[in-house]
Structure 1
Amino acid sequence: MAKGRPSVVAQPKAGGGQGARVRQKRTIAHNRAARHNYEIEETWEAGIELTGTEVKSIRERPCQISDSFCIVRGGELFLVGVHIHPYSNGGVWNVDPDRRRRLLMHRRQIDAIDQRMKTKGVALVPLELYFDERNRVKLRVGMGRGKKLYDKRRDMAKRDTEREVQRALKARVR
C-alpha cells in the first residue's frame, strides 16, 4: 500500500446481496405533446404533494398530464390541470380529482423558475410522472419555449428523413 493513500475496500450495501432487486423508475404518465409544442431547454425533478388515496389511485390506473401546466403563486409551485381518478375504495377520503397540487422543489429553484417564466413565450411544462427508486411519485418538469408552426413542420420533416435513412440502411443490410 502506498504511503499517505488510504486503502479503499468496496463494501456491499446493507441488504444488497447477490439476489438484491434493483428498482428503477416506473413511468405513470408521459406528456408527448409537450415535446411537440415546446422546445424544452432545461428539466427538473419535483416531488408532488398527494393524499394517500391519490397515490393508491395512481397505482390502480394511470392519470392524465397532457393538458396540464405549472404556475408559481406566492413563492410556491403548483401543478394545474392533472386529472387523477378517484380511488375505487376511497369513499369519503377521495379528494377533488382536478384540484391544484403543490410541487416540492428547493426555494432557489422555484425562484429561478419564477424569474425565467416572466419572459414572454416561456412556460413550465410537466413532461413525465413516475415512481422513483423509493416508490415516491415524482414529476419531471421542463422549461419550454413555444414552437411556431414552421418549427413543428421542420421537426416532423427531420424525423421523416431520419426514418427513411434507417429504413434504407436496414434494407441494405438484408
Structure 2
Amino acid sequence: MAVTKKNKFDKIINIRNKKASHEFEFLDTYTAGIVLSGTEIKSVREGKVSLTEAYCYFQREELYIKQMHIAPYSMAASYNHEAVRERKLLLNKRELEKIETKFSEKGLSIIPIRIFINDKGLAKIEIAVARGKKLHDKREDIKEKDVKRELSKMKF
C-alpha cells in the first residue's frame, strides 16, 4: 500500500476582501508577490490577515500596499512585526506600467481582492484596478443577488 506524502502547505489560505466587490467594479486583476518578514508570513499562514481597509499606491515606480493588517505572530518573542505597515508588491515591469497608466485615469483605484498561499508556499495577493460604484449600481447588485437567491430556493 502506497503512502501519499502530505504537502506541508496542505492548509489552504484564501482570505478575501468581501467589501471590495460591493464597493468597486473590477476592470483588471493582477497577481503579485508580497515582501514579508518571517513573522508576517507565519501569521498569514495562520489566516490572521485583514484586507478591508487596504489600498495600493505608486511610489517611485514601485507598487506598495498600505493599511493591510497582519496580526502579530503569537509565538514570536521580541522580534515581532508591526501589524499595519507599508509592504512592497512584486510585479513585472510591464505589468507595473500597465497598472500605472490605468491608475492615472480619474476615478480609478488599486485595491486588494484576496491573499493566498500558492503551491510553492509563497504568499501572493490578487489586486484589481477598480472604479467605485455609485449608490444605484450597488442597489442593482443587491436586487440581482436577491433574485438569484429566490430562484435557487424555488429549484429545491
TM-score greater than 0.5 by the shorter chain: yes
State how far apart, in whole Å, the 2-side matches of 1:142 and 1:25 are. 25
Query: Residue 44 in 1 paired to residue 30 in 2?
Result: yes
Partners of 2:13 and 2:47 within 8 A in 1 = no
Structure 2 unaligned spans of 5+: none
Q: Which residue of 2 aligns with 1:147?
A: 133
Structure with greater Cα Rg: 1
Q: Is 1:62 aligned to residue 48 of structure 2? A: yes
1:99 counterpart residue number: 85
Distance 1:24-1:39 versus aligned 2 partners, 3 A rule: farther
1:136 Cα deviation after fit: 0.5
RMSD of equivalent CA atoms: 2.0
Percent identity over the alignment? Answer: 31
1:8-87 to 2 correspondence within 5 Å? 19=4, 26-87=12-73
For 1:99 and 1:118, locate their aligned partners in 2 and report how far apart those are by CA, in whole Å.
Answer: 24
Partner amino acid for 1:60? E
- Deviation by residue 1:18-44 (Cα, 9 ceiling, x = unmatched): 946687892342100110000111111
Stretches of structure 1 lacking an aligned partner (at least 5 in a row): 1-16
Instruction: Compare 84-93 and 44-53 and name the one that shifted more.
Output: 84-93
The residue matched to 1:57 in structure 2 has which SS?
A: helix
Checking the alignment, whether the CA contact within 8 Å between 2:56 and 2:110 is kept in structure 1 is yes
Flag the structure with higher strand content: 2
With normalisation by structure 2, the TM-score equals 0.90
Q: 1:92 to 1:28 in 2, by over 3 A?
A: farther
- Look up the equivalent residue of 1:124 and give its one-letter code: I
Structure 1 residues 140 and 24: CA distance shift in structure 2, 3 A: farther
Q: Deviations over 1:75-112 (max 9, x none)?
A: 10001001111122323322221110000000111111
Q: Which amino acid aligns with 2:63?
A: L
Deviation at residue 59 of structure 1 after TM alignment: 2.3
* Map of 1:109 onto structure 2: 95
- Tell me, in whole angstroms, the C-alpha distance in 1 between the residues paired with 2:152 and 2:47: 36
Q: TM-score, normalised by structure 1?
A: 0.81
C-alpha distance in structure 2 between counterparts of 1:73 and 1:52, whole Å = 24
The number of residue pairs the alignment matches comes to: 154
